[in-house]
Structure 1
Amino acid sequence: MSRIAFPFLTLPNELVNFSGWMIGPPGEPLSPASDVLENWDYEQDIQVNVHVHIDVKEASVLLGIDVADLKLAVVLSVGTGAGSLPRRVDRLATAVIDIDEPAVTLEETILGRTLSGQLHLSLRIILEAPIDSGGPLSPKQRGARLWQYHKNILLEDGGESRFPIELASFSESFEARPEQYAPWLVDWTPTTLDADFSGNVRLYVNSDIESACSRFVEGDALTLQAMVADVMTQLIEAALDVENEAELDRYEEGSIGYQARAWMEMSFPGQNLENIRQMRIYAPGKFKALILAIADFREGD
């Protein structure tokens, strides 16, 4: 629960009867959410169910608002991302509670392909109506947050151990730009090799191109191999631009530079930095083919 002191009256925990988070695969019996969702992968959607009951009469007294006018909105949101702060947050469902309907159940399905790292579940109760009513300390604005509860769930095999790939509409993200016609795009910054890999490198697959999208969703090994090889090549080429091997060795585990060095050693075993640089310049076909060979998804991640 938040410890923020709001400039208006809010609802205490004991007034909100929240049954807890229930999650599981769609169409199957749901279970109470734990801190880790085991055996998850990108093809597995997640169903979330919550039930909330509020003593509306008592809430009206605590908020200083007439019970006949009071309406509260229950909002279920989900965020995702590898870090403590979600990289995206989506509102899944909203329902209104009042004196006639003091309880609501919200249930929605989250598409697995939109998730990575962690599932950040959020439940909020906000003021729906009335506006500018009640006493001096009563909430006055629609959307004023009166209560909230959060739950972070680690997606096993969906976090740092898996390659960060997701679908996106390029026609929306890159409207009227040449990139919108590419089957995929690697989003990262080569000047930040010391940054966290899982939070700063992402491969977006163009959901507007049906053939590329379907092959990715179906897990076509050759398609995934080509996509990941592109990422590996970009990171390795950036690592080759550093001045010396000592500088490359300084990157900590989990960073972009560390991952680039690991992929470089896998692709070019026994070769020093200068030999790999020479191959990149004078035998670019072989250079890229060796990386492509290592990015083979048929043997797993």
Structure 2
Amino acid sequence: MSRIALPFLTLPNEVVNFSGWMIGPPSEPLSPASDILENWDYEQDIQVNVHVEIDFTEAADRLGINAADLKLAIVLVAGTGSGGLPRRVDRLKTAVLDINKPEVTLEATIPGRTLSGQLQLSLRIVLEAPANSGEPLSPKQRGARLWQCHKHILIEDGGDSRFPVELANFSESFKGRPEQYAPWLVDWSPTTLDADFSGNVRLYVNSSIESICTRFVEGDALTLQAMVADVMTQIIDAALDVENESDIDRYEEGSIGYQARAWMEMSFPGQNLENIRQMRSYAPGKFKALILATADFREGE
């Protein structure tokens, strides 16, 4: 026999006093959240603050539960990733309210490295107690969702094909090591293709090489092309080492593996994984040249 989900009573908006979403950098004054998160980079964490007050007398009446017995859990949740469904969801804070404690302020810090695409905030009120009590249509199970509110915030341009770039003095960071003379360095791990791209790939530009630093800061197209092509080549190389083509297809939007697949489709249109592998092995110059051409920043030339 199929199971039928029976309806239960929930909370109307008028019994929940929700002050709205407050957001901003940690240790700074917060402001009401807008639809776009501006002036932000992946190094910057985000502080989220919400205040909720519940009219427990009215809430108990609406749910058909004795006000003295009613306990409600307030849950703050954050999701991130491109598209309608978040790739990552975290429960940030939870607090239990009752008639003697009808209000709470929840505050949490979201690490910037975990974010990509958009920030999807959710505030939920669920039944904490009592279970299996009240009237026939009263919620009976702990965790039954009684009220919720959402806020979707676009991060920059959605995070597509972007990664953090940072100026660093290699003479200090890699003193006495060969890396100190490199014009740039891509920091990432090829063992984490399923990880979030924007939070796990970082390009460091050597500020101790004045000519490279100047070209980068001024947005020199050929310099940027060489840098981005290096990132693309490294990540495509790692993806090509995955044994099965079906494994490449399983990576979710916003991940390193997904970005590798997108770059391969741009650089080698119409070619399957094995054809690209063959080119890398037997025509490495052409393989790298096609990636370099895809990374061209010049427009209309």
Identify if the C-alpha distance between structure 1 residues 184 and 204 changes in structure 2 by more than 3 Å, giving closer, same or farther.
farther
Residue identity matched to 2:52:
V
Structure 2 counterparts to residues 111-190 of structure 1, below 5 A: 111-163=111-163, 183-185=189-191, 187=193
- Corresponding residue number in structure 2 for 1:260: 264
3-state SS of paired residue (1:121) = strand
* Residue identity matched to 2:10: T
Q: What secondary structure is seen at the aligned counterpart in 1 of 2:138?
A: coil
Q: CA deviation at 1:288?
A: 5.8
Instruction: State the shift of 1:263 in Å.
Output: 4.0
Residue pair 1:40, 1:156 contacting (<8 A) in 2 also = yes
CA distance 1:52–1:262, change in 2 (3 Å): same
Matching residue within 222, 228, 234 for 1:230: 234
Task: Please give the residue correspondences for 1:1-301 in structure 2 after superposition, counting only pairs within 5 Å.
Answer: 7-163=7-163, 183-185=189-191, 187=193, 203=197, 219-221=203-205, 227-233=231-237, 259-260=263-264, 262-263=266-267, 280-284=280-284, 286-287=285-286, 290=289
Question: Between the two proteins, what is the percent identity of the paired residues?
Answer: 59
The whole-number CA distance in structure 2 between the counterparts of 1:91 and 1:10 is 22
Please tell me whether the aligned partners of residues 197 and 259 of structure 2 are also in contact (alpha carbons under 8 angstroms).
no
Could you tell me whether the CA contact under 8 Å between 1:203 and 1:231 is conserved in 2? no
Secondary structure class of the residue paired with 2:80: strand
Give the TM-score, by structure 2 length. 0.64
Q: CA 1:64/1:282 → structure 2, altered by over 3 Å: closer, same or farther?
A: closer
Inter-partner Cα distance in structure 2 for 1:289 and 1:280: 8
Closer/same/farther in 2, CA of residues 281 and 229 from structure 1, 3 Å limit: closer
Deviations along 1:132-166, one digit per CA (max 9) or x if unpaired, are 111111111100000001111000045215149xx
Give the distance between the partners of 1:132 and 1:292, measured in 2 at CA: 62
What is the CA RMSD across the aligned residues, in angstroms? 3.9
Distance 1:278 1:130 in 2: 64
Cα displacement (A) at 1:230: 2.1
Note the residue ranges of structure 1 that are not aligned, 5 or more in a row.
165-181, 189-200, 206-212, 242-253, 266-275, 297-301
The Cα shift of 1:287 comes to 4.6
SS at match of 2:84: coil
Asked if the contact 2:45–2:112 (Cα under 8 Å) also holds between the matched residues in 1, the reply is yes
1:184 is paired with a residue whose SS is coil
Call closer, same or farther: CA 1:63–1:258 in 2, change over 3 Å. closer
Residues 61 and 293 from structure 1, CA distance in 2 versus in 1: closer, same or farther, beyond 3 angstroms? Answer: same
Structure 2 segments unaligned to the other structure (5+ residues): 165-187, 207-226, 246-257, 270-275, 296-301
Question: How much has 1:255 moved relative to structure 2?
Answer: 9.5
- What is the DSSP-based 3-state SS (H/G/I as helix, E as strand, rest coil) of the residue aligned with 2:49? strand
